[in-house]
Protein backbone atom coordinates (compact mmCIF):
# COMPACT_ATOMS: atom_id res chain seq x y z
CA UNK A 1 0.00 0.00 0.00
CA UNK A 2 1.36 3.37 -0.97
CA UNK A 3 1.93 5.97 1.69
CA UNK A 4 1.97 9.73 1.72
CA UNK A 5 5.27 11.18 0.53
CA UNK A 6 7.25 12.87 3.29
CA UNK A 7 8.01 16.55 3.08
CA UNK A 8 11.41 17.16 1.60
CA UNK A 9 13.38 19.19 -0.88
CA UNK A 10 11.40 17.86 -3.81
CA UNK A 11 8.54 19.97 -5.06
CA UNK A 12 6.55 16.81 -5.84
CA UNK A 13 4.23 15.95 -2.97
CA UNK A 14 1.45 13.51 -3.86
CA UNK A 15 -1.38 13.73 -1.35
CA UNK A 16 -2.48 10.19 -2.08
CA UNK A 17 -0.57 8.12 -4.61
CA UNK A 18 -2.95 5.18 -4.20
CA UNK A 19 -6.11 5.10 -2.11
CA UNK A 20 -7.56 2.05 -0.41
CA UNK A 21 -11.09 2.73 0.78
CA UNK A 22 -13.14 0.63 3.13
CA UNK A 23 -16.79 0.20 4.01
CA UNK A 24 -16.82 -0.06 7.78
CA UNK A 25 -19.65 -1.20 10.01
CA UNK A 26 -20.94 1.53 12.30
CA UNK A 27 -22.60 -0.06 15.37
CA UNK A 28 -23.60 3.36 16.71
CA UNK A 29 -25.89 4.02 13.76
CA UNK A 30 -28.92 1.75 14.13
CA UNK A 31 -30.68 1.63 10.81
CA UNK A 32 -32.97 -0.99 9.20
CA UNK A 33 -31.04 -0.62 5.95
CA UNK A 34 -28.31 -2.98 4.81
CA UNK A 35 -25.10 -2.32 2.96
CA UNK A 36 -25.86 -2.50 -0.76
CA UNK A 37 -22.61 -4.39 -1.43
CA UNK A 38 -22.09 -6.84 1.44
CA UNK A 39 -25.52 -7.10 3.02
CA UNK A 40 -24.32 -6.30 6.52
CA UNK A 41 -26.85 -4.27 8.53
CA UNK A 42 -26.24 -0.82 9.94
CA UNK A 43 -23.42 0.01 7.53
CA UNK A 44 -22.34 3.52 6.74
CA UNK A 45 -20.06 4.55 3.95
CA UNK A 46 -16.87 5.90 5.51
CA UNK A 47 -14.08 6.75 3.11
CA UNK A 48 -10.55 7.08 4.36
CA UNK A 49 -7.21 7.35 2.65
CA UNK A 50 -5.09 4.87 4.54
CA UNK A 51 -1.43 5.81 4.78
CA UNK A 52 1.34 5.31 7.28
CA UNK A 53 1.74 9.00 8.00
CA UNK A 54 -1.70 10.49 7.56
CA UNK A 55 -5.39 9.59 7.37
CA UNK A 56 -7.79 11.59 5.27
CA UNK A 57 -11.46 11.68 6.23
CA UNK A 58 -13.89 12.64 3.51
CA UNK A 59 -16.87 13.86 5.51
CA UNK A 60 -18.67 14.92 2.34
CA UNK A 61 -18.72 11.28 1.26
CA UNK A 62 -20.29 9.91 4.47
CA UNK A 63 -23.82 8.68 3.97
CA UNK A 64 -26.01 5.76 4.92
CA UNK A 65 -26.07 3.20 2.16
CA UNK A 66 -28.76 0.74 1.14
CA UNK A 67 -32.01 2.17 -0.17
CA UNK A 68 -30.92 5.81 0.08
CA UNK A 69 -29.51 7.76 -2.86
CA UNK A 70 -26.05 9.23 -3.13
CA UNK A 71 -26.17 12.97 -3.74
CA UNK A 72 -24.83 14.43 -6.95
CA UNK A 73 -21.65 15.56 -5.26
CA UNK A 74 -21.03 12.16 -3.71
CA UNK A 75 -21.72 10.38 -6.99
CA UNK A 76 -19.35 12.69 -8.85
CA UNK A 77 -16.56 12.07 -6.35
CA UNK A 78 -17.23 8.35 -6.44
CA UNK A 79 -16.87 8.31 -10.23
CA UNK A 80 -13.71 10.38 -10.01
CA UNK A 81 -12.12 7.98 -7.53
CA UNK A 82 -13.06 4.97 -9.66
CA UNK A 83 -11.63 6.58 -12.78
CA UNK A 84 -8.29 6.85 -11.01
CA UNK A 85 -8.28 3.16 -10.14
CA UNK A 86 -9.58 3.32 -6.59
CA UNK A 87 -9.53 -0.06 -4.85
CA UNK A 88 -12.28 -0.85 -2.36
CA UNK A 89 -11.36 -3.03 0.59
CA UNK A 90 -13.87 -4.08 3.22
CA UNK A 91 -13.01 -3.74 6.90
CA UNK A 92 -15.09 -4.32 10.01
CA UNK A 93 -14.72 -4.66 13.77
CA UNK A 94 -16.83 -7.80 13.59
CA UNK A 95 -14.47 -10.11 11.70
CA UNK A 96 -10.77 -10.53 10.86
CA UNK A 97 -9.45 -8.39 8.04
CA UNK A 98 -8.25 -11.48 6.13
CA UNK A 99 -11.80 -12.76 5.84
CA UNK A 100 -12.99 -9.46 4.42
CA UNK A 101 -10.08 -9.20 2.04
CA UNK A 102 -11.19 -12.55 0.65
CA UNK A 103 -14.85 -11.56 0.58
CA UNK A 104 -14.12 -8.31 -1.16
CA UNK A 105 -11.49 -9.51 -3.59
CA UNK A 106 -14.18 -9.71 -6.24
CA UNK A 107 -15.35 -6.17 -5.52
CA UNK A 108 -12.06 -4.47 -6.34
CA UNK A 109 -12.49 -2.14 -9.29
CA UNK A 110 -10.54 -3.88 -11.99
CA UNK A 111 -8.88 -2.09 -14.94
CA UNK A 112 -11.47 -3.25 -17.44
CA UNK A 113 -14.27 -1.87 -15.22
CA UNK A 114 -12.75 1.53 -14.52
CA UNK A 115 -13.97 4.68 -16.17
CA UNK A 116 -11.81 5.96 -18.99
CA UNK A 117 -8.66 7.60 -17.65
CA UNK A 118 -8.73 11.43 -17.82
CA UNK A 119 -7.09 12.71 -20.97
CA UNK A 120 -6.29 16.15 -19.53
CA UNK A 121 -3.98 17.07 -16.67
CA UNK A 122 -4.83 20.48 -15.24
CA UNK A 123 -2.52 22.47 -12.96
CA UNK A 124 -4.27 24.86 -10.56
CA UNK A 125 -2.79 27.81 -8.69
CA UNK A 126 -3.75 28.42 -5.04
CA UNK A 127 -3.69 32.11 -4.16
CA UNK A 128 -6.55 34.10 -5.70
CA UNK A 129 -7.63 31.00 -7.68
CA UNK A 130 -8.48 28.53 -4.92
CA UNK A 131 -8.29 30.91 -1.95
CA UNK A 132 -8.48 34.63 -1.19
CA UNK A 133 -4.90 35.18 -0.04
CA UNK A 134 -4.88 38.96 -0.48
CA UNK A 135 -7.98 39.57 1.63
CA UNK A 136 -6.39 37.76 4.57
CA UNK A 137 -3.04 39.46 4.02
CA UNK A 138 -4.61 42.93 3.86
CA UNK A 139 -6.40 42.26 7.15
CA UNK A 140 -3.12 41.25 8.77
CA UNK A 141 -1.23 44.28 7.41
CA UNK A 142 -3.94 46.64 8.66
CA UNK A 143 -3.85 45.06 12.10
CA UNK A 144 -0.08 44.80 12.53
CA UNK A 145 1.23 47.76 10.51
CA UNK A 146 -1.78 50.11 10.52
CA UNK A 147 -1.72 50.28 6.72
CA UNK A 148 -5.06 49.98 4.99
CA UNK A 149 -5.04 48.40 1.53
CA UNK A 150 -7.64 46.83 -0.69
CA UNK A 151 -7.48 44.62 -3.75
CA UNK A 152 -8.13 47.51 -6.14
CA UNK A 153 -4.66 48.89 -5.30
CA UNK A 154 -2.85 45.78 -6.52
CA UNK A 155 -2.28 46.76 -10.13
CA UNK A 156 0.75 44.50 -9.95
CA UNK A 157 1.13 41.47 -7.70
CA UNK A 158 4.27 42.93 -6.14
CA UNK A 159 3.99 43.85 -2.47
CA UNK A 160 7.03 46.13 -2.52
CA UNK A 161 5.26 48.48 -4.94
CA UNK A 162 1.92 48.45 -3.17
CA UNK A 163 3.42 48.79 0.32
CA UNK A 164 6.20 51.10 -0.92
CA UNK A 165 8.90 49.27 0.99
CA UNK A 166 12.07 47.29 0.32
CA UNK A 167 12.10 43.64 -0.69
CA UNK A 168 13.59 42.73 2.70
CA UNK A 169 10.76 44.53 4.52
CA UNK A 170 8.11 42.94 2.29
CA UNK A 171 9.56 39.48 2.91
CA UNK A 172 9.57 40.13 6.66
CA UNK A 173 5.92 41.16 6.63
CA UNK A 174 4.84 38.19 4.53
CA UNK A 175 6.68 35.69 6.72
CA UNK A 176 5.13 37.28 9.79
CA UNK A 177 1.77 36.79 8.10
CA UNK A 178 2.57 33.10 7.66
CA UNK A 179 2.79 32.77 11.46
CA UNK A 180 -0.47 34.57 12.12
CA UNK A 181 -4.05 33.42 12.68
CA UNK A 182 -5.00 35.24 9.49
CA UNK A 183 -2.90 32.87 7.39
CA UNK A 184 -3.92 29.81 9.38
CA UNK A 185 -7.68 30.38 9.36
CA UNK A 186 -8.36 33.54 7.40
CA UNK A 187 -7.86 32.44 3.80
CA UNK A 188 -11.31 31.58 2.49
CA UNK A 189 -12.03 29.50 -0.64
CA UNK A 190 -12.91 31.33 -3.83
CA UNK A 191 -16.71 31.09 -4.31
CA UNK A 192 -17.72 28.29 -6.64
CA UNK A 193 -14.30 26.63 -6.73
CA UNK A 194 -15.10 23.56 -4.65
CA UNK A 195 -18.36 22.80 -6.44
CA UNK A 196 -16.78 23.14 -9.89
CA UNK A 197 -13.68 21.15 -9.00
CA UNK A 198 -15.78 18.24 -7.76
CA UNK A 199 -17.23 18.06 -11.26
CA UNK A 200 -13.93 18.66 -13.05
CA UNK A 201 -12.22 15.90 -11.05
CA UNK A 202 -14.47 13.35 -12.75
CA UNK A 203 -12.94 14.00 -16.19
CA UNK A 204 -9.58 15.69 -15.53
CA UNK A 205 -6.51 14.85 -13.49
CA UNK A 206 -6.04 17.80 -11.14
CA UNK A 207 -2.84 18.90 -9.44
CA UNK A 208 -1.79 22.05 -7.60
CA UNK A 209 1.11 24.16 -8.87
CA UNK A 210 1.80 27.10 -6.58
CA UNK A 211 4.58 29.65 -6.22
CA UNK A 212 4.30 29.30 -2.44
CA UNK A 213 7.43 28.74 -0.40
CA UNK A 214 8.63 25.41 0.96
CA UNK A 215 8.52 26.84 4.47
CA UNK A 216 4.71 26.75 4.44
CA UNK A 217 4.24 23.32 2.87
CA UNK A 218 2.60 21.78 5.91
CA UNK A 219 0.20 24.69 6.40
CA UNK A 220 -0.66 24.71 2.69
CA UNK A 221 -1.38 20.98 2.60
CA UNK A 222 -3.56 21.30 5.69
CA UNK A 223 -5.51 24.14 4.03
CA UNK A 224 -6.04 22.09 0.85
CA UNK A 225 -7.16 19.11 2.92
CA UNK A 226 -9.57 21.34 4.84
CA UNK A 227 -11.20 22.96 1.81
CA UNK A 228 -10.49 20.67 -1.20
CA UNK A 229 -10.07 17.23 0.30
CA UNK A 230 -9.63 14.38 -2.18
CA UNK A 231 -9.66 16.57 -5.29
CA UNK A 232 -5.97 16.99 -6.16
CA UNK A 233 -3.54 14.17 -6.87
CA UNK A 234 -0.34 16.19 -6.33
CA UNK A 235 0.88 19.49 -4.86
CA UNK A 236 3.97 21.26 -6.19
CA UNK A 237 5.75 24.27 -4.68
CA UNK A 238 7.73 26.82 -6.70
CA UNK A 239 9.38 28.35 -3.60
CA UNK A 240 9.28 31.86 -5.08
CA UNK A 241 10.45 34.85 -3.00
CA UNK A 242 11.69 32.46 -0.32
CA UNK A 243 14.33 33.35 2.24
CA UNK A 244 16.16 30.14 1.41
CA UNK A 245 16.05 27.27 -1.04
CA UNK A 246 15.95 27.04 -4.82
CA UNK A 247 12.98 28.34 -6.80
CA UNK A 248 11.37 26.64 -9.79
CA UNK A 249 9.33 28.30 -12.51
CA UNK A 250 5.75 27.22 -13.00
CA UNK A 251 6.44 26.31 -16.61
CA UNK A 252 9.20 23.95 -15.45
CA UNK A 253 6.94 22.33 -12.85
CA UNK A 254 4.06 21.99 -15.31
CA UNK A 255 6.31 20.32 -17.88
CA UNK A 256 7.48 17.91 -15.20
CA UNK A 257 3.95 16.79 -14.32
CA UNK A 258 2.74 16.74 -17.91
CA UNK A 259 0.12 19.43 -17.39
CA UNK A 260 -1.84 20.41 -20.49
CA UNK A 261 -3.62 23.41 -18.94
CA UNK A 262 -2.75 25.89 -16.20
CA UNK A 263 -5.32 27.91 -14.25
CA UNK A 264 -3.59 30.99 -12.81
CA UNK A 265 -4.34 34.63 -12.02
CA UNK A 266 -0.86 36.01 -12.73
CA UNK A 267 -0.28 37.15 -16.35
CA UNK A 268 3.49 36.70 -15.98
CA UNK A 269 3.12 33.03 -15.13
CA UNK A 270 0.40 32.68 -17.75
CA UNK A 271 2.62 34.00 -20.54
CA UNK A 272 5.59 31.91 -19.41
CA UNK A 273 3.54 28.71 -19.53
CA UNK A 274 1.80 29.64 -22.79
CA UNK A 275 5.19 30.14 -24.46
CA UNK A 276 6.21 26.69 -23.26
CA UNK A 277 3.30 25.14 -25.16
CA UNK A 278 0.54 24.99 -22.55
CA UNK A 279 -2.96 26.37 -22.65
CA UNK A 280 -3.71 28.82 -19.85
CA UNK A 281 -6.94 29.99 -18.26
CA UNK A 282 -6.13 33.42 -16.81
CA UNK A 283 -8.35 33.68 -13.76
CA UNK A 284 -9.81 37.12 -13.02
CA UNK A 285 -12.54 36.48 -10.46
CA UNK A 286 -15.59 38.59 -11.26
CA UNK A 287 -13.32 40.92 -13.21
CA UNK A 288 -11.89 42.18 -9.89
CA UNK A 289 -8.14 41.48 -10.19
CA UNK A 290 -6.28 44.62 -11.35
CA UNK A 291 -2.94 42.80 -11.65
CA UNK A 292 -4.35 40.40 -14.22
CA UNK A 293 -5.31 43.33 -16.45
CA UNK A 294 -2.16 45.40 -16.02
CA UNK A 295 -0.17 43.21 -18.39
CA UNK A 296 -2.50 42.01 -21.10
CA UNK A 297 -0.92 38.76 -22.33
CA UNK A 298 -0.89 38.68 -26.12
CA UNK A 299 -0.85 34.95 -26.75
CA UNK A 300 -3.40 32.75 -28.53
CA UNK A 301 -3.09 30.01 -25.87
CA UNK A 302 -4.29 32.29 -23.05
CA UNK A 303 -8.02 32.58 -22.32
CA UNK A 304 -9.36 34.94 -19.68
CA UNK A 305 -11.99 33.47 -17.32
CA UNK A 306 -14.03 35.18 -14.59
CA UNK A 307 -15.47 32.43 -12.41
CA UNK A 308 -15.32 28.69 -11.79
CA UNK A 309 -18.48 27.93 -13.72
CA UNK A 310 -16.77 29.28 -16.81
CA UNK A 311 -13.67 27.20 -16.04
CA UNK A 312 -15.77 24.05 -15.78
CA UNK A 313 -17.54 24.71 -19.09
CA UNK A 314 -14.25 25.26 -20.93
CA UNK A 315 -12.59 22.18 -19.47
CA UNK A 316 -15.58 20.01 -20.34
CA UNK A 317 -15.35 21.11 -23.96
CA UNK A 318 -11.59 20.55 -24.07
CA UNK A 319 -11.93 17.15 -22.44
CA UNK A 320 -14.61 16.09 -24.93
CA UNK A 321 -12.51 17.32 -27.86
CA UNK A 322 -9.43 15.46 -26.66
CA UNK A 323 -11.35 12.16 -26.48
CA UNK A 324 -12.76 12.33 -30.00
Say whether 125 is catalytic. yes
Helix, strand, or coil here: 140? helix
Choice among 26, 125, 158, 264 that is catalytic: 125
Long-range contacts made by residues 177-186, C-beta under 8 angstroms, separation at least 24? 177/136, 177/137, 177/140, 177/141, 178/215, 178/216, 178/219, 180/140, 180/144, 182/136, 182/137, 182/139, 182/140, 182/143, 183/136, 183/140, 183/216, 183/219, 184/219, 186/135, 186/136, 186/139, 186/140
If you ran DSSP here, which 8-state letter would residue 39 be given? -
Which residues are registered as beta bridge partners of 122? 206, 261
Between helix 193-200 and helix 72-83 the angle, nearest 10°, is 40
- Decide if 127 is catalytic: yes
3-class secondary structure, 14? strand
Euclidean distance between CA atoms 171 and 30, whole angstroms: 55
CA distance 113 to 23: 20
The answer to whether the beta carbons of residues 34 and 41 sit under 8 Å apart is yes
Catalytic residue among 127, 264, 265, 272: 127
- Residue 112: other Cβ atoms inside 10 A: 5
Catalytic residues: 125, 127
Amino acid sequence: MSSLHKLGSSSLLPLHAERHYMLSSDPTSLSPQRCFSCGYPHCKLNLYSRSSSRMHYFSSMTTSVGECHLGQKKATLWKAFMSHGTRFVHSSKESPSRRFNEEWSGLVVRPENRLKQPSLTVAVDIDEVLGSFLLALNTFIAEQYLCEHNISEFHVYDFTKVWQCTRAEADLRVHSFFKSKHFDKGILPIPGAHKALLQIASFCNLCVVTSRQNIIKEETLAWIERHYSGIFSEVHFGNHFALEGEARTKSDICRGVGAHILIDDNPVYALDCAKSGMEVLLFDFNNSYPWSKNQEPQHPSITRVHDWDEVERILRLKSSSSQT
